[in-house]
Structure 1
Amino acid sequence: MVAITLRCSTTVHLLSILVVMMMVRPSNGGSNDGDDLHSVPLTVVKGAVAEGAVCLDGSPPVYQWAAGRGGGVRNWIIFLQGGGWCLNTTMQLPGRAPVESCAARATIFLASSRHMAPANFTHALSPLSNTSYFYNWNRVFVRYCDGGSFAGNADKQDPVTHVYYRGARIFDAVVRDLMARGLKDARNVLFAGVCGRSGAMVHCDRFCGHFPKNVVRVKCLADSSFFLRVKDPSRAKFLDRVFRTVVDVQRPHRALPAGCTSKMSAAACFFPQNLLRYIKSPIFIINPVFDAYQIKTTFSVDLNNQVTNHTVSRSNMTLLQGFRRELINALPPAKAGNGSSDEIEILMYLYLY
């Protein structure tokens, strides 16, 4: 594991290490401190449908919440579930990973709360004190069903697939519901998006803005979300097309920073390397050096297989080293907004599988 620290206070550094430990180490079992691992029910967000905050198929959004206890009763960890984007068509370049059609997805759990079953709370969400630092916190798992990283806000149904793109409305409805359940009284909050999605980046500042500064400690975390637009236009072509199409379909414009969209296209602002430059709140980035989907779509499936099997040739190793440098250089420089506590704190862990 390689740690790239751009700006990090002692508190942020210690918390980030804890988070990384929770993400990568398996559960070791042990005594149960309260909850049953399989007993966290789905909570339907009341009133969401009336506000237009719906899953792809029009069903209401849901989340799972295990209430905090003891010393963790006013601490919260909130995860946005990942699950990949979908489009109003199926895109595929020869030999590379396709992007699923939202119409094809609409009958499964990633598009409809009607097809969801409760997920087990493990790793960072585990109730076991010997497995997770957050075992007695309020632990929330926001289920993913919008196909666009909780960012979409299209007013009308898609005329091709007849589904809804309302991820931003889902996010707002869930936060309002959690506020009423005690989140407004929180002391410490970790807001995270895991497994390749950028929702935590998109909503980081907006989420942190719900809490008074210097009173509540709020941090964001984006795990496996840093898909890079490389400088080589030919290699950037596929992801460029995916991002443009997602933005055209999902209409995430209002969820993106106005400072970014005033200077470049919404599709460009959706790329993490641009989006991150406009995030003012403390955020952790945890990312593989050579993400499988990134390598497949930017280079080739064959090169990804070489990485997986540790059979990379000398010439391809040079290619990958160049990509690694470009990934690190794409991170924004540390800077202070007003010379005080508004200073951006970024810590990025690059890890190899």
Structure 2
Amino acid sequence: MAFILILIFITVAPRTIYANTQFQYHGGSVAKKVLPDVNSTNAMLLVNITVLNNAVFKGAVCLDGSPPAYHLHRGFGSGANRWLVHMEGGGWCYDMLSCSGRAASPLGSSLYMGDTIAFTGILSDVRSQNPDFYSWNRVMVRYCDGSSFTGDVEEVDPITKVHFRGQRIWQAVMEDLLAKGMYKARQALLTGCSAGGVTTFIHCDRFNDLLPGSAKVKCMPDAGFFIDSNDISGGNQQRFLVDQMVTLHGSSKHLPVACTSEMIPSSLCFFPQYLLQWIRTPLLVVNSAYDPLQIRFILVPAAADPNNYWRNCKMNITRCAPWQLRVMEEFTDYMISALTPVSNSRTGGLFINSCYAHCQTNVQALWHSPSSPRLYSKTIAEAAGDWYFGRSVVKYIDCPYPCDSTCNNSF
């Protein structure tokens, strides 16, 4: 049976959702692991939710038909006309069963989202935590469509009442942010992690096109470079699941046309590696070469390891045997090779470390702190600022695991 990658919260806090978390996927469920608060002396910034009730009339709704939402913390000082938009992640749903289940969670309904969310990492308003973007207008766009904001199906299943409207959510949220001042942005950065990282790849040029021609616009996907690769058994379950998801959500017509006109099937354009050659906007790709989600669900999905030879290794990289690490290295070599268009781009940037981590920019302990991972003595935040403002070229690729002593490989 094909494994369906869907994020389900075991428990949902009724009021506050914390941004400084990483998620562990266990057979379709997820356990939330809160990383140590490296700035406990600072007051936590809690940002209220904005629910776009008017978007319902445009058909821009979550899976359950509820309105979309985002959290906005206004910029100040020199950041008043600078905008950072972060797209929330959380996997995908591939069939009606998984999507209807997701519709009863914060990843499918604004009714289950908390009133506030904690802004940390790249969303922090504290200069010592977020040195280059702390004063910008910072937005967290909530993810409730299950298709990385690409779906667009008019019909609604009369039994499940599930809606597939991710593209309309994207449009409605961007229109609202433009009306609230983003239309006069001088500088802007689109970012997001995991499925939100995929969103960043797909919508990067569209985001650029929304803003003034004089604006400096760039994109920084985090943990979104999910690759089209065979697993250890020689199969390619992820390609099948992506095609199923794109078909269900009606996403093909909203994937970049330059790619879909060339690729067969067009669903391959959901994989960022096939989009890179057509993205015009400068990109900084932040990713672990040993991303645990890709190891667990692309390289070694459960169906490819029926005897559980990889179980301990997948859950804790420090338990991997030498032969397993060699298999991982071949996988990461393929990933890095697929990033060649960014490596060769004059405006592109790379921060590819060897930490066993998934989503690093919105986690304070990984983004910028005394214990953060580093490449060339730079935290991710420092490298991102150098790249965005053109202070230096950022083409950082780490040595193979376990050479990087700055990593916290406890995911």
The alignment's TM-score, normalised by the length of structure 2, stands at 0.70
Structure 2 residue corresponding to 1:45, chosen from 17, 38, 52: 52
* Greater mean deviation of Cα atoms: 325-334 or 245-254: 325-334
Would you say the 8 A contact 2:125–2:134 is kept in 1?
A: yes
Q: Specify whether residues 50 and 238 from structure 1 end up closer, same or farther in structure 2 by C-alpha distance, changes over 3 A only.
A: same
1:276 is matched by which residue type in structure 2? L
Q: Specify whether residues 196 and 289 from structure 1 end up closer, same or farther in structure 2 by C-alpha distance, changes over 3 A only.
A: farther
1:216 equivalent in structure 2 = 215
Q: What does the per-residue CA deviation read over 1:154-190, in whole Å, with 9 as the maximum and x for residues that have no partner? A: 1212466431111111011111100110101111111
Would you say the 8 A contact 1:203–1:255 is kept in 2?
A: no
Match status 1:252 vs 2:251:
yes
Following the alignment from structure 1 to structure 2, what is the Cα–Cα distance between the partners of residues 160 and 288? 41
2:266 equivalent in structure 1 = 266
Correspondences of 1:90-129 after superposition (within 5 Å): 101-117=98-114, 118-129=116-127
1:131 equivalent in structure 2 = 129
2:180 equivalent in structure 1 = 181
Q: CA deviation at 1:144?
A: 0.7
Q: What does the per-residue CA deviation read over 1:68-98, in whole Å, with 9 as the maximum and x for residues that have no partner? A: 11121111111111111012256xxxxxxxx
Q: In the comparison of the two structures, how many residue pairs are matched?
A: 310
Match status 1:71 vs 2:75:
no
Would you say the 8 A contact 1:277–1:332 is kept in 2?
A: no
1:94 equivalent in structure 2 = none
Following the alignment from structure 1 to structure 2, what is the Cα–Cα distance between the partners of residues 331 and 304? 29
Work out the percentage of aligned pairs sharing the same amino acid: 37
Correspondences of 1:1-353 after superposition (within 5 Å): 27-30=38-41, 37-38=45-46, 40-89=47-96, 101-117=98-114, 118-133=116-131, 134-158=133-157, 161-197=160-196, 198-213=198-213, 215-230=214-229, 234-264=233-263, 265-297=265-297, 298-300=299-301, 302-303=309-310, 305-306=312-313, 308-334=316-342, 344-353=347-356
* Greater mean deviation of Cα atoms: 240-249 or 194-203: 194-203
Following the alignment from structure 1 to structure 2, what is the Cα–Cα distance between the partners of residues 243 and 159? 25
Higher RCO, 1 vs 2 (CA within 8 Å, ≥6 residues apart): 1
Following the alignment from structure 1 to structure 2, what is the Cα–Cα distance between the partners of residues 160 and 276? 39
Following the alignment from structure 2 to structure 1, what is the Cα–Cα distance between the partners of residues 41 and 183? 33
* Greater mean deviation of Cα atoms: 288-297 or 75-84: 288-297
Q: Specify whether residues 332 and 164 from structure 1 end up closer, same or farther in structure 2 by C-alpha distance, changes over 3 A only.
A: farther
Q: Specify whether residues 309 and 246 from structure 1 end up closer, same or farther in structure 2 by C-alpha distance, changes over 3 A only.
A: same
Q: Specify whether residues 293 and 58 from structure 1 end up closer, same or farther in structure 2 by C-alpha distance, changes over 3 A only.
A: same
Q: Specify whether residues 111 and 255 from structure 1 end up closer, same or farther in structure 2 by C-alpha distance, changes over 3 A only.
A: same
Q: CA deviation at 1:49?
A: 0.9
Would you say the 8 A contact 2:185–2:212 is kept in 1?
A: no
Q: Specify whether residues 304 and 69 from structure 1 end up closer, same or farther in structure 2 by C-alpha distance, changes over 3 A only.
A: farther
Q: CA deviation at 1:122?
A: 1.4
Following the alignment from structure 1 to structure 2, what is the Cα–Cα distance between the partners of residues 330 and 224? 15
Following the alignment from structure 1 to structure 2, what is the Cα–Cα distance between the partners of residues 30 and 137? 22
1:98 equivalent in structure 2 = none
Q: Specify whether residues 70 and 45 from structure 1 end up closer, same or farther in structure 2 by C-alpha distance, changes over 3 A only.
A: same
Would you say the 8 A contact 1:280–1:344 is kept in 2?
A: no
RMSD across aligned C-alpha pairs, in angstroms?
2.4
Tell me, which stretches of 5 or more residues in structure 1 are unaligned? 1-23, 91-100, 337-341
Q: CA deviation at 1:25?
A: 9.9
Q: CA deviation at 1:29?
A: 4.0
Following the alignment from structure 1 to structure 2, what is the Cα–Cα distance between the partners of residues 110 and 174? 16
Q: What SS does the aligned partner of 1:209 have?
A: helix
Q: Specify whether residues 290 and 30 from structure 1 end up closer, same or farther in structure 2 by C-alpha distance, changes over 3 A only.
A: same
Would you say the 8 A contact 1:67–1:139 is kept in 2?
A: yes
Q: What SS does the aligned partner of 2:269 have?
A: helix
Q: CA deviation at 1:235?
A: 3.8
Q: What SS does the aligned partner of 1:240 have?
A: helix
Q: Specify whether residues 52 and 294 from structure 1 end up closer, same or farther in structure 2 by C-alpha distance, changes over 3 A only.
A: same
Q: What does the per-residue CA deviation read over 1:300-344, in whole Å, with 9 as the maximum and x for residues that have no partner? A: 5653632524132232222112111111111243599xxxxx965
Q: CA deviation at 1:44?
A: 1.9
**Runs of 4+ with >6 A deviation:** none
Would you say the 8 A contact 1:65–1:139 is kept in 2?
A: yes
1:114 is matched by which residue type in structure 2? L
2:155 is matched by which residue type in structure 1? K
Q: CA deviation at 1:259?
A: 1.3
2:370 equivalent in structure 1 = none
Q: What does the per-residue CA deviation read over 1:90-144, in whole Å, with 9 as the maximum and x for residues that have no partner? A: 6xxxxxxxxxx01111111111111111211112112222212222211111111
Q: What SS does the aligned partner of 1:281 have?
A: coil
Q: CA deviation at 1:46?
A: 4.5
